[in-house]
Copies of this chain bind each other. A is one copy, B any other.
Amino acid sequence: MTTPLEFYFDFSSPYGYLASTQIDSLAAELGRGVSWHPILLGPMFQAMGSVPLVQVPLKGKYALHDFERTARLFNIPYATPEAFPISTVAAARATLFLLRHDKALGADFAKRIFTAYFAQGKDIRELPVILETAAQAGADSDALAAGMAGDDIKNELKKNVADAMARGVFGSPFVIIDDEPFWGFDRFPHIKMWAKSHHHAN
């Protein structure tokens, strides 16, 4: 029995987007599934006393360059969004609502939202963009519009972020595999190496 890769991401995270395009093939290579966990970096940054990467002197300019270069090296479509970083609470709530009813649909929607923001120049803060993207994924957008505004979804997102932080999640993308934590798209090769050495050790 293998457990799925626990995949945590904020929709405003470029490396999270890059990871979202590769997590399925990584999981397939390891013979595992993927659990998709939309989170919000805001409360985590607050706990760490940190600011968004691109706002840090010296590092910010490099980061913008590295996002684009990494996408190019991995042949992933990418265009720096005009508004960045943004609040992704609406998209996260929509994902939670869809995941609750259909895990495959929720995952597909998450990938489409990431692509809309980081490759298609869409503003994923806007409700029409969220609903249209959901409809393209085959969701009932009227049910989504009603459901994502519910208090239960709002509370679930808050709880999920708190639970993630309690597990040690502090960034995006963040993958937990059998309780082993990996932060960053650049740790995907490490996840493979770790999983293979772990497998042999058992």
Residue of B nearest to A186 (CB): B186
B44 touches A48 (CB 8 A): no
**Residues on the B chain within 8 Å of A59, using CB:** 48, 170-171, 183
In the complex formed, the residue of B with least CB distance to A191 is B73
Q: Is the CB of B48 within 8 A of A57?
A: yes
Q: In the bound complex, do residue A49 and residue B44 qualify as a contact, i.e. CB atoms below 8 Å apart? A: no
A79, B83: Cα distance in complex, Å: 43
> Using Cβ atoms and an 8 Å threshold, which residues of chain B touch A66?
183
- Given A181-B65, A184-B186, A44:B58 Cβ within 8 A: yes
Q: Measured between alpha carbons, how far is A49 from B59 in the docked complex, in Å?
A: 11
A190 within 8 A of B: yes
A189 in contact (CB, < 8 A): yes
A197 within 8 A of B: yes
Interface residues of A in 51-99 (CB under 8 A from B): 56-59, 61-62, 65-66, 69-70, 73
User: Roughly how many angstroms separate A65 CA and B187 CA in the complex, as a whole number?
Assistant: 13
A165 within 8 A of B: yes
* Chain A positions 22-70 with a Cβ under 8 Å from a chain B Cβ: 44, 47-50, 56-59, 61-62, 65-66, 69-70
Q: How far is the CB of A47 from chain B (nearest CB, A)?
A: 6
Given contacts A186-B184, A186-B186, A186-B187, contact A58 B47 (CB under 8 A): yes
Q: Cβ of A121 < 8 Å from any Cβ of B? A: no
Question: Closest chain B residue to A185 by CB distance?
Answer: B186
Question: Which residue on chain B has the smallest CB distance to residue A169?
Answer: B58
Q: Is the CB of B58 within 8 A of A49?
A: no
Q: Hey, which bits of chain A sit against chain B, CB under 8 A?
A: 44, 47-50, 56-59, 61-62, 65-66, 69-70, 73, 165, 168, 170-171, 181, 183-184, 186-187, 189-190, 193-194, 197
Ranked nearest first, the 7 interchain pairs of A and B with the lowest CB-CB distance are A58-B170, A186-B186, A73-B193, A48-B57, A59-B170, A48-B56, A48-B58
